[in-house]
Structure 1
Amino acid sequence: MTSVALFDRRGASETIGFVFVFALVTASVGVIYTTGIGGLADAREDEQLTNAVRAFDVLDDNVADLTREGAPSRATELKLSDAGLGFGDPVTFEVQVNHTDTDANATYRANTRPLVYSGEAGKVVFSAGATFRVDGGSAAMRSKPGFLVDDRRSLVPLLVAYPQGGSGGVGGSSTVLVVTHRQSQQLDGEFDTGPDAADEARVNVTVESPRAAAWGRYFEAQGMTAIDGTADDGDVTYQFRTDHLLVSETVVEFDINA
């Protein structure tokens, strides 16, 4: 009887041990599966956003053909992967220039509609000649708008973009064609302090945009100085000094063809 009882106890112990081990393995596999699938989904969404950034890099090059080479239009192909493409709220630029010695001053303004790709991992935005990648609440400028800041001669190029006709937003997983049409290109103004001026003119550039912090970092990289506004309020103002200023304006239309 003793040997039988001992065998029963050992058998029960092995059975219980097997059940515990099996439960532990099953739970571990479940955790790994859930975590792994989530990680794969995050990686896929991030790659889709990266692909959208590359497509917007091509868009930026095509818009440059319009603004610098005089091309009438360019088409950019963009793959939507459970994402949307449309237009954001207007972004406002204001350029104020003042020369203390002569009391001469001038103001130039422009409003533009950003082109916005919205995916699960974030957004890609083309606005005023610059491309931004937006992850969460942080925006990073991917391509620059082409400001030239120098104490002798400076250029502020204003790119105004808006939807063509009834062109609106699209969504899904299709491939769309974004056609950019150049509508006009002109010199908004030229400001010169004159050969006898003792001081340069002060130029203030103000941007009202949800990506004001990224604009501020760009202006600082150009050697400009912050004088007003905060990124939290959605607007920043930066200043530089120059003898001669050119402000150009190019107007383009975006037509989204699904």
Structure 2
Amino acid sequence: MRSDGDRGVSETVSFVLIFSLVIASVGTVYAIGVSELESTRDAERVENAQRAFDVLADNVLDLFEGAPSRGTEVKIAGATVRSADDAEMNVTVDPGGGGTPQSWEYRLSPIVYDVEAGGQIRLSNGAVLRDSARGSASVVRGTPIVVDDDQLLLRLVKQEHVGSGAVGGSGTVRIRMATSGPRVFYDEANPDNHSVRVNVTSPYTDAWARHYESLGFSCTEVSAPTAGTPGTTSCTIAGIQRVTIVWTRITTSFE
């Protein structure tokens, strides 16, 4: 027969075991819950940033249409907003029929939102690109280009940043854009048909290639990007009778 002392020890041990299980369960639930909440919060911040960059892309179109300046606020929320120097574009128009090809080359200076948990969103040549922490990048909003049967309207955006090159913290930053107005670089119709080649140097050549291919271009990789070094993709479209190229210089700044 068990004594009262043995019974007391047994009850104490049982209580300790049950209490330990409860604490462990609460700790597990807390850890999982906090992790899921943080993931949800981070995803919401990225979505908000992408929406803000969509507005920036709208601002680029406004500047092409004659607006002198535009400004949009972006919540930083632990991220970093900066101007990058890792992208450029070269455009060549061959009028065909023995005409002389014309080329334009310029730096893109994209605005980049570096996500705290990894990945980024960027505004480059009027397009919005998104790269996840897993390294899967895509053009989520295309460039201001129009391909319509045998006509091509290509808008080129040369961004030049002034002032502070990066802003971090937990507040908001106002991204201001200003321009002196668009210029028509080329506007010709040719029954012999034009061919247009667009070379893009960027850390995200695959994303650019998929974007231009969706518009009817044929793309080849000239060089693959590596860590810290952008690559280059070359995209060509032919059989275009009328080509119009409009260019604008946009000055960006952080306020």
Superposed pair shares fold, TM > 0.5 = yes
Aligned to 1:128: 125
Distance 1:10 1:126 in 2: 72
Aligned to 1:212: 205
- The one-letter code of the counterpart of 1:249 is W
Q: 1:236 aligns with which of 233, 237, 240?
A: 233
Following superposition, the deviation at residue 19 of structure 1 comes to: 2.4
Aligned to 1:106: 102
Aligned to 2:220: 227
CA-to-partner distance for each residue in 1:48-95, whole Å, 9 max, x for gaps?
121111111222222211112x01111212222122221012411112
Q: Does 2:20 match 1:23? A: yes
Aligned to 1:249: 247
CA-to-partner distance for each residue in 1:81-138, whole Å, 9 max, x for gaps?
1222210124111122335642642222221111112231332211110112221222
- The one-letter code of the counterpart of 2:103 is T
Distance 1:8 1:201 in 2: 99
Aligned to 1:54: 51
Q: Does 2:139 match 1:141? A: yes
- The one-letter code of the counterpart of 2:218 is T
Q: 1:82 aligns with which of 72, 78, 100?
A: 78
- The one-letter code of the counterpart of 2:202 is S
Following superposition, the deviation at residue 161 of structure 1 comes to: 0.7
Identity %: 34
Following superposition, the deviation at residue 252 of structure 1 comes to: 0.6
Q: Where do 4+ consecutive residues of structure 1 move more than 6 Å?
A: none
Q: For the Cα contact (< 8 Å) 2:63–2:179, is it kept in 1?
A: yes
Q: For the Cα contact (< 8 Å) 2:92–2:104, is it kept in 1?
A: yes
Describe the SS at the equivalent of 1:89: coil
Distance 2:220 2:57 in 1: 30
Q: For the Cα contact (< 8 Å) 2:175–2:253, is it kept in 1?
A: yes
TM-score, length-normalised on structure 2? Answer: 0.87
Greater gyration radius: 1
Following superposition, the deviation at residue 9 of structure 1 comes to: 4.8
Aligned to 1:176: 173
Following superposition, the deviation at residue 239 of structure 1 comes to: 1.5
For these two proteins, the number of residue pairs brought into alignment is 248
Aligned to 1:67: 64
Q: For the Cα contact (< 8 Å) 1:176–1:256, is it kept in 2?
A: yes
Aligned to 2:185: 188
Describe the SS at the equivalent of 1:243: strand
Structure 2, unaligned stretches of length 5 or more?
Answer: none
Q: For the Cα contact (< 8 Å) 2:161–2:252, is it kept in 1?
A: yes
Q: For the Cα contact (< 8 Å) 1:116–1:123, is it kept in 2?
A: yes
